[in-house]
Chain A
Amino acid sequence: MAERAGVEVRLENLQRRYGPVTALNDLSLTIAPGELVALLGPSGCGKTTALRLLAGLEQADGGRVVIGGADVTTVPANKRDVGMVFQAYSLFPHMVAWENVAFGLQMRKVGAAERKRRALEVLDLVGLAPYANRYATQLSGGQQQRVALARALAIRPKVLLLDEPLSALDAKVRSRLRDEIRRVQLEVGITTLFVTHDQEEALAIADRVGVMNAGHLEQLGPPTLVYTRPATPFVAEFVGLTNRLSGEVKSGMVEVRGTQLPLVQPNEPQGPAIALVRPEAVSLATDGNLADGPLVGTVIAVAFLGATSRVTVDLGGGVTVLAQMPTSAAAGHPAGTRVRLALRDDPVLIAREEKASVDA
């Protein structure tokens, strides 16, 4: 399949309401040509609505959708030139795989022979050429989604939209297909919007990740930045695990259980606060000093995750802390042992809620 440059996509101040519920609240997002942006967020945050507005499957109450410089806000879905892969299996059951892929070409009046040739070419791109004559019922879930991807790409759309295409698949197939989607997207160079609620998926596949909450973007940036420098407490808590520890902001730092930590936003107001600390910024101190202290506690669980382990420590007073570390470091600290924690001086975000706890 010939490579070609993608187009820029702009969502400008999009608004969408369902009765009293605001699904999208002034959403603005620009996707560079050939870029893959993942929209990440909890159920009901508006990410799928944004994608459907871009696809033309729903109409916006306000704002504009611009694809390749053309305002397509009022253009119907069948005239938008976007390819879409759905969360639910969407292959036409009465057609075999290649006929499914050729359907969009048929709509574009491509001749029968050329249709079949191009359909087989795209099926080959997703590694399913040998399955061209199979019906959807004769394909596995992963294969069906790959055919759906081929079908979306066959029309050579300006934009590729992926609406949680991996959520119905098991973990192994999901991981493999995720890599496959990224490979194909890079190969074709198509501008892509990927919607998911799975943070691992979003962080692994995207050039930029947009974290959505209550109809608007909380943060948009490269995956590493979103993870290491979350812009808001919501992003910090939604992307990855976060410990919520009581502390006090003083002169540009926050003191958490006797440890001074720098702040992401140094101009935070003074006073009591909740510091959001990543589990990987928490380690087990190795100096052997287990005298009572604010960071001394009892291991209550150790979760083996392969190369790393996650240790849950009870610091007393209803406060538990997650610490993630190499499995070798966690070895020798089974449940019940006393340990002392150390907090790495990574910049932390501040939340203002009252109760300190662990957000797992």
Chain B
Amino acid sequence: MLELTDVHVEYEMEGDGSVHAVNGVSISLEENKILGLIGESGSGKSTLAKAIIRLLAKNGHVPEGAIEYKETDLTELSDREFRTEIRWDEISMVPQNAMNGFDPVYTVGNQIVQAIRTHEDVSKGEARERARALFEQLGIDPGRIDDYPHQFSGGMAQRAMIALALALDPSLIIADEPTTALDVVIQDRILQTLRDLQQEIESSVILITHDISVVSDICDEIAVMYGGRVVEHADVETIIKEPRHPYTLGLRNAFPDIEEDDQDLISIPGTPPDLVEPPEGCGFAPRCPFATDECWDVTPEPEEYGDGHVVECHRADEQELLTEEAKRKETWMDLETEPQQVAEEADD
């Protein structure tokens, strides 16, 4: 349904140069699936999402690549076509902080009605009825549609935001860290609600997060982003149980597993790569304990390892060795000083 082919996103910087925030991402998403997009800050996950719904900042653009949605290349549409045909009707979004997602001076109901009536020729009363039904669906008292956003609690605002996102039965919902601002219990409930509704209305979801435990619960597939590229993409089971990319292995180390006791949390040393002038070779090489000369010189191509498991790593075929080694704390400690140098150069 959604097919990205070699998508690049650049931000023009004042002075010279540009930031290559997304560097050739090819990924596809089928109908009725939840795709988790994970990665650390600056990995390009939010930028990629914004590129899909065309909300990049003024200095950002997509110089290369195709974003195909239901057989239409979104990058070819005019602003007007995109606004009237794609936005909200087909693709909607849920922002990180729902409290700021509503205009504070209008009631929540009003804003849902406005979204509906922007795209559909229905009466105010009819749109209001639909807003009430949406509230009910999300477990909010329909009587509260005339409340202002600030009268809602954080969790309720997030539910209302999801109600808004579902208002036009979109085929794709982009949720950008939708539960980061909430406590764990509420977070869990909201994600479950999102999952249930997604299955009910048969839409797809792209769930952006930096929390691997969040995605493992409700996603069907996971794409791991690093330095503006998708370095590993597979179904949830595979990513959690049998990852092949050293970065995914490292990410997994950084989150505890309840079932295993006596485990150290191991973090990945170093900083994300310089995106102004991406160096030759694998972007993760400076932080990778398994990097060889080849990794520093040649950018790895995506390769498939059975049933849609795509990895960009020269050593992905040595899965057993990497998995064993990655569990040891020492592996991640005796790295060369290379990463620091890279970071300093980026500051200049």
- Pairing of A with B: no
Q: Which residues of A are in contact with B by a Cβ distance under 8 Å?
A: none
Q: Which residues of B are in contact with A by a Cβ distance under 8 Å?
A: none
